[in-house]
Amino acid sequence: MEREEQNAAANEFLSKLSEIAEALAKLEGLPELVSSMEAEISKLSSQELHIHIGQITMNQPVLKELNYHLKSLDIKDLNGTLHIGSTFSEKKEKGKTEQSSQSREPEITVIVNGKTLPYKETNE
């Protein structure tokens, strides 16, 4: 029985020793990996950055404040209606709900250095 316990302990020790050897082998390659990553970062940071936004669609813009400052207004003759400023109204199509308009993905494409990058809208 004691012999079996010694064999089990020896096998466990050899297994742990093998794991340590594998970890050391991985660590030996790290300096080269770090050097190659530093070189790639240096190469990328020296390149000129180009950002191209083709189209932006704003589904529900929010205007926090709109101020008009009129010093004077002289009208001699007015035939019709005079609207000063902007009147904003929300147009809803029949059959479409507000939820469906919010669930749509924004139609924004971000291209950096000729490559399309993923874009996700965040509401802060």
Burial tier of 108 (Cβ tally within 10 Å: 0-12, 13-18, 19+): middle
18 within some domain: yes
107 within some domain: yes
The whole-angstrom separation of Cα 107 and Cα 113 is 20
pLDDT at 29 over 60: yes
87 within some domain: no
> What mean pLDDT do residues 31-38 have?
90
pLDDT at 118 over 60: yes
81 within some domain: no
33 within some domain: yes
Give the pLDDT of residue 77. 85
84 within some domain: no
pTM of the model: 0.30
80 within some domain: no
Give the pLDDT of residue 105. 54
Query: Which of helix, strand or coil describes residue 67?
Result: coil
Number of domains in the chain: 1
Give the pLDDT of residue 18. 93
13 within some domain: yes
Residue 55: which domain range? Answer: 2-75+96-117
Give the pLDDT of residue 42. 86
